[in-house]
Structure 1
Amino acid sequence: MHEYLEIIKNAYTGYFGYLIDEITRFHWSNYFYGLIIISLLVWGLELLFPWRKDQKMFRKDFFLDTFYMFFNFFLLNLIVLIALSEVAAKFLNDILGVVGLELSDLQLVDVSSMPMWAGLLIFFLVSDFVQWNTHRLLHRVPFLWNFHKVHHSVKEMGFAAHLRYHWMEPVVYKSLLYIPIALIGGFAVEQVAIVHFTAISIGHLNHANLGWDYGPFKYIFNNPKMHIWHHGKELPNRYGVNFGISLSLWDYLFKTDYIPHSGKDLELGFEGDEDFPEDFLGQELYPLDIHKKDAS
């Protein structure tokens, strides 16, 4: 137990130093300024080419979503995810150690021996497919859906809505993604950064006030015209549609795609969202309120 507590302590200390370094030192893989630059660029596209032209520059919940964006992207990592991933790695290695194995012994593929583009492609495809399946679980499991409602409480779509989610969501995503990624070793820091910034850019664009679908590439990449239907208040089935994170490919392959017509003026939300809290703290505490969960 002492070892695990020491890991948590070191993770917090190390991440705090990392965060200060990200803010005070600019470099090409800087996540802090990378997020800001991507956000400003996509926001600029929204303002230049708005799909819903009557939507205000500072749409409903713009500042709430901006707070979520930085809270979830940086502070949440400090509070939960860094320590969680370090403890998970230690715990898994301890379990495997009982039978004389280490996590590295289970690696199926080592991408370090492959061309960089191949490693990037494998990392991107595996992580996106796992996250697509995780997203489906968030809609199908009632317990998880109560956390995911935070993301679906968005009533006017904009780039910052991408990172409005309950802190429990990345715990679920990272937990289910950990082992598949661990089975593929040899990723370089540069590869992780490229995939990360690509996913952030596509996610921002998916939620932006843009009427784009990328033409023939819409069958590969998720896009604003497709993702708006995922946020529609009225759905064609009980569990939802268009679960793609970065790629729309999985939805077309597994028949969860749904774009009946232009969703430009689609009503967003979910059934019963009129009783959903509109403030950050209320939304974070919502899944713990049994009375509200039962009522919905």
Structure 2
Amino acid sequence: MNKYINIFKDSYQGYFNYLISEITSFHWDNYFYGLIIVSLIVWGLEIAFPWRKNQKIFRKDFWLDTFYMFFNFFLLNLIVLIVLSNTAESLFNDALGLVNLNLSDFQLLDLNALPFGVGLLIFFIITDFVQWNTHRLLHRVPFLWNFHKVHHSIKEMGFAGHLRYHWMEPIVYKSILYIPLAIIGGFNVEQVAIVHFSALTIGHLNHANLGWDYGVLKYVFNNPKMHIWHHVKELPENHKNGINYGISLSIWDYLFGTNHVPYNGRDIELGFDDDEKFPKTFLKQEAYPLSQEK
């Protein structure tokens, strides 16, 4: 028990010190200022090349989504994710130890043994594929869908909507991603930072007020014209659980038949059934899934 109490204390202290360091210093892989820079660039693109020209620069829920962006990216980690991640990792390793195993026994690939570019590509593809499958689960499992509704309560797309999600979502994503990443192993800080900022930029662009699809690359990379259909309120009859689940890559949807872009979706209605009853404030949105379970 003392071990897990120490994990709790060390996690909070370690992440708090890390967060202060990020805010007070600047370096190429600084996540705090990286988020601000990427957000300002994509917001600038929205202003310069708006797809929905009648949509205001400070669109509906702009400030709510901005709060979500910083809360989910930094404060959420401080409050819960780091502790849960470190505890889950320790519990998993302790469980393996009971049967005289450790995680290295399951490692199939060491990315450090590969050329940097090859290892980076494998890390990116595996991470994205696992997240694509996790995203499908969020739509197909009713319990998880109640949490994911927070993200789908967006009524006007904009870059900051990318990070409007319930705190439970990253717990699900990180829990499912933990074992696949442990199996490939060997990724380093530089690879994590590159994949992180690539996914952040693509995600911001996907939610931005931009009418881009990247031409032939739309079959590889998720894009605004494809992702807006993921948020459509009225889903097609043959895909009632959802469509276009891609995170950074669209290729999984094309490979597994969940792609759907029937026409220019610039002005489609976004949301889900009965979304007019969904809470409009941060605290009520965070409490919504638990109230539904009751």
Structure-1-length-normalised TM-score? 0.97
How large is the RMSD of aligned CA atoms in angstroms? 0.9
* 2:281 partner letter: D
Partner of 2:230: 230
Shift in Å at residue 81 of structure 1? 1.2
Structure 2 CA distance for aligned equivalents of residues 227 and 80 of structure 1? 29
**In 2, Cα distance between the equivalents of 1:105 and 1:18?**
31
What is the alpha-carbon distance in structure 2 between the residues aligned to residue 88 and residue 113 of structure 1?
A: 27
* 1:267 maps to 2:254: no
Could you tell me which residue of structure 2 aligns to residue 13 of structure 1?
A: 13
SS at match of 1:81: helix
Per the alignment, residue 239 of structure 1 pairs with 241
Matched ranges for 1:108-123 at <5 A = 108-123=108-123
After TM superposition, the structure 1 stretch with the greater mean CA deviation from structure 2, 36-45 or 74-83, is: 74-83
The match for 2:63 is 63
State how far apart, in whole Å, the 1-side matches of 2:277 and 2:89 are: 40
- Alignment-mate amino acid for residue 16 of structure 1: F
For the residues of structure 1 that align with 2:275 and 2:92, how far apart are their CA atoms? 39
1:278 corresponding residue in structure 2: 280
- For each residue in 1:104-144, what CA deviation from the matched residue of structure 2 results, as whole angstroms up to 9, or x when unmatched? 22211001011111111111111100100000000000000
What do the CA deviations read for 1:71-116 (whole angstroms, capped 9, x no partner)? 0000001111111111111111111111222112221100101111
C-alpha displacement at 1:187, in angstroms?
A: 0.8
Whole-Å Cα distance in 2 between the matches of residues 289 and 89 of structure 1? 30
- The 3-state SS of whatever aligns with 1:264 is coil
Question: How far apart, CA to CA, are the structure 1 residues paired with 2:102 and 2:111?
Answer: 19
Per-residue CA deviations over 1:35-94 (Å, capped at 9, x if unaligned) read 000000000000000000000010000000000000000000111111111111111111
> Matched residues in 2 for 1:269 and 1:94: separation?
43
Q: Which residue of 2 aligns with 1:256?
A: 258
Q: Which amino acid aligns with 1:94?
A: D
Structure 2 residue matching 1:210: 3-state secondary structure: coil
Q: Tell me, which stretches of 5 or more residues in structure 2 are unaligned? A: none
* Distance in 2 between residues matched to 1:57 and 1:46, nearest whole Å: 8
The percent of aligned pairs where both chains have the same amino acid is 72
Distance (Å, rounded) in 2 between the aligned partners of 1:85 and 1:184: 18
Matches of 1:195 and 1:115, distance apart in 2: 16
Instruction: Report matched runs for 1:44-83 at 5 Å.
Output: 44-83=44-83
> 1:235 & 1:264 partners in 2: Cα distance?
16
CA-to-aligned-CA distance 1:239-292 (integer Å, 9 cap, x gap): 0100000000000000000000000001000000000000000100001113xx
State TM-score, norm by structure 2: 0.98
Secondary structure of 2:130's aligned partner: helix
**Structure 2 counterpart of 1:167:** 167
The amino acid of 1:275's aligned partner reads K
Q: Please list every run of 5 or more consecutive structure 1 residues that lacks an aligned counterpart in the other structure.
A: none
Which of 269, 272, 290 is the aligned partner of 1:288? 290
How many residues align structurally?
Answer: 292
Give the secondary structure class of the aligned counterpart of 1:183. helix
Query: Deviating runs (4+, > 4 A) in structure 1?
Result: none
